[in-house]
Amino acid sequence: GSKPISTLPDKHFAVNLDVAPTLADWAGLDVPTSWQGCSLLRPRTREWTIHYTPCASLGCEGAVVDYSNGKILKYSRVLVSVAGLPDHESIFDIERDPEEKNNLLSTMDPARVLQFRSLADEHLSGE
C-alpha cells in the first residue's frame, strides 16, 4: 500500500484471521460482521476470541483469549485426547509471558477457570 500504517490503538494478540479485516479496513472498506477476525487498526471491541485449528490428531489445541481487565489471558487445551491420558490445559498472561512458560492455571480464581472452560466447551467441542 501507499499509506503508512499508523500506530496500533491497542496491544493485540493477533492471529491469521485478523489479516483480512485489517487489510480491508486499511483500504477503507467495511469489514463484514460475519468475519471472525478483528482489524488491528481499531480498538478491540470483543472481550473474548476463540482460536483453533480443526484436526483429528493428538496434540491439537484450541484457545480462548480474554482481553479484559487490562490483560491478555490465553486459556488453551487439547482438542483431541486419548482415553486414560490427562487433558492438558493452561492459562498464560501472554503480554507478561509471551513465550508461555508460566502456566497460571493453579493460581487462577476457580470461578475464572470455570468461565474459560465453559467458553471452550461451547466453542471448541466437537471439532
Rounded to whole angstroms, how far apart are CA atoms 105 and 84? 21
Burial class (CB in 10 A: 0-12, 13-18, 19+), 93: middle
Burial class (CB in 10 A: 0-12, 13-18, 19+), 106: exposed
- Residue 40 carries which DSSP code? T
Per-residue cell: 65: 483469549
What is the pLDDT averaged over residues 71-88? 73
Position 127 pLDDT exceeds 60: no
Helices (H), the chain: 19-26, 110-124
What is the pLDDT averaged over residues 27-55? 79
Contacts of 66 (CB under 8 A, 6+ apart): 47, 48, 72, 73, 74, 75, 116
Lowest mean pLDDT among 22-36, 57-71, 90-104, 112-126: 57-71
